[in-house]
């Protein structure tokens, strides 16, 4: 099981930023520690896939109920939850106002911030990311951890077989792309060497979106994590069919 959470930090000029941390529950191995101006739902998914490419997919994923992790407060599901479902990974969330459930990644935040407070204030995100990368290497491979019998997290992570998701063959050719819907609520993407045009929604025209592509499976996601359109690309058509609920709007 992996734990995930974001925490706040400040650059040297007092600009507020966020750090997204992914931690292996058993070994406390730091899977990812990435700095963002503000963590958005697509950032979480991209970080998850980057970690999975390096360390394999977990059987479970635990987080709190922040909007980038959980759609429950809006009676829906965010893109991360939808992807975890598709991969056969169990999505778990802590109870509201009960941070102890994600206590291991919360404790990691504290250790990380103690380290950062002893460093020269980061001048920008790239500088902060360099500090995070340096800390991860020290934390994972050199610093003994009392919770794993004095071993380093790397030693504990390598010592046991990992549980796997129920879907053993995750999608290939995963891509993430930022774009903007045109004045008609449309977007264009290249698939199998040809440009494909698809209508998303006229009411969202001009809106910034993230395209999440796994083979022919495409999701158009807003910055708040809501899915504006989901479809399987039809390789025989350059202009993908318009959703039925938008046909009346366009006519």
CATH number of the domain that 138 lies in? 3.30.420.10
Q: Number of structural domains, the chain? A: 2
Percent of the chain scored above 90 by pLDDT?
50
Q: Are residues 178 and 155 in the same domain?
A: no
Q: Please, what's the b/e burial string for 16-29 (b: 16 or more CB within 10 A of its CB; e: otherwise)?
A: ebbbbbbbbbbbbb
210, part of any domain: yes
168, part of any domain: no
164, part of any domain: no
Q: Are residues 125 and 185 in the same domain?
A: no
Q: Are residues 101 and 220 in the same domain?
A: no
Q: Are residues 130 and 29 in the same domain?
A: yes
Most confident of 87-101, 112-126, 178-192, 205-219: 112-126
- Geometric angle at alpha carbon 49, from 99 and 149, rounded to 5°: 50
Residue 208 near residue 178 (C-beta atoms within 8 A): yes
Describe the crossing of helices 79-87 and 41-55 by its angle, rounded to 10 degrees: 30
Structure tokens at 72: 């429950």
Q: Are residues 154 and 185 in the same domain?
A: no
Which DSSP helix (H) or strand (E) runs through 132?
Answer: helix 125-141
Q: What is the pLDDT of residue 248?
A: 45
Give the sign of the dihedral formed by CA 215, CA 218, CA 224, CA 225: negative
- Check which CATH number belongs to the domain holding 229 and give it: 2.40.50
Give the sign of the dihedral formed by CA 100, CA 33, CA 81, CA 27: negative
Close Cβ partners of 110 (under 8 Å, ≥ 6 residues apart): none
**Average pLDDT, stretch 55-70?**
90
Cα–Cα distance for residue pair 98/120, rounded to 1 Å: 33
Percent of the chain scored above 70 by pLDDT?
91
Q: Read off the pLDDT of residues 21-45 as tens digits, 9 standing for 90 and up.
A: 999 999 999 999 999 999 998 899 9
132 phi, psi to nearest 5 deg: -65, -40
Rounded to two decimals, the pTM is 0.70
Q: Are residues 30 and 101 in the same domain?
A: yes
Q: Are residues 9 and 93 in the same domain?
A: yes
Q: Are residues 142 and 212 in the same domain?
A: no
Q: Read off the pLDDT of residues 142-167 as tens digits, 9 standing for 90 and up.
A: 888 877 787 899 998 888 778 878 76
Q: What is the pLDDT of residue 167?
A: 67
Q: Are residues 120 and 239 in the same domain?
A: no
Q: Are residues 39 and 150 in the same domain?
A: yes
Q: Read off the pLDDT of residues 119-132 as tens digits, 9 standing for 90 and up.
A: 999 999 999 999 99
Q: Which one has a higher pLDDT value, 78 or 111?
A: 111
Q: Are residues 187 and 123 in the same domain?
A: no
243, part of any domain: yes
Which structural domain range is residue 181 located in? 174-250
166, part of any domain: no
The whole-chain average pLDDT of the chain stands at 87
Structural domain ending residue among the three candidates 159, 192, 223 = 159
95, part of any domain: yes
């Amino acid at each position: 099981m992996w734990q995930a959470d974001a925490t706040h930090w400040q650059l040297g000029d007092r600009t507020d930023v966020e750090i997204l941390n992914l931690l292996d529950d058993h070994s406390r191995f730091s899977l990812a520690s990435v700095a963002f101006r503000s963590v958005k739902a697509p950032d979480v998914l991209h970080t998850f896939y980057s970690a999975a490419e390096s360390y394999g997919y977990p059987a479970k994923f635990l987080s709190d109920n922040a909007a980038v992790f959980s759609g429950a407060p809006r009676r829906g599901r965010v893109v991360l939850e939808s992807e975890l479902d598709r991969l056969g990974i169990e999505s778990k969330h802590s109870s509201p106002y009960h941070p102890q459930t994600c206590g291991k990644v919360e404790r990691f935040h504290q250790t990380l911030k103690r380290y950062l407070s002893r460093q020269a204030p980061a001048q920008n995100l790239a500088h902060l990311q360099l500090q995070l990368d340096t800390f991860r290497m020290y934390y994972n491979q050199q610093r003994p951890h009392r919770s794993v019998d004095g071993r380093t997290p790397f030693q504990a992570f390598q010592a046991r077989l990992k549980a796997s998701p129920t879907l053993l063959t995750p999608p290939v050719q995963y891509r993430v792309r930022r774009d903007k819907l045109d004045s008609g609520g449309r977007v264009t993407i290249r698939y199998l060497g040809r440009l494909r045009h698809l209508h998303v929604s006229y009411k969202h025209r001009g809106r910034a979106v993230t395209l999440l592509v796994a083979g022919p499976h495409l999701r158009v996601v807003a910055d708040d994590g809501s899915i504006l359109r989901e479809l399987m690309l039809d390789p025989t058509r350059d202009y993908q069919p318009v959703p039925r609920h938008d046909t009346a709007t366009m006519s």
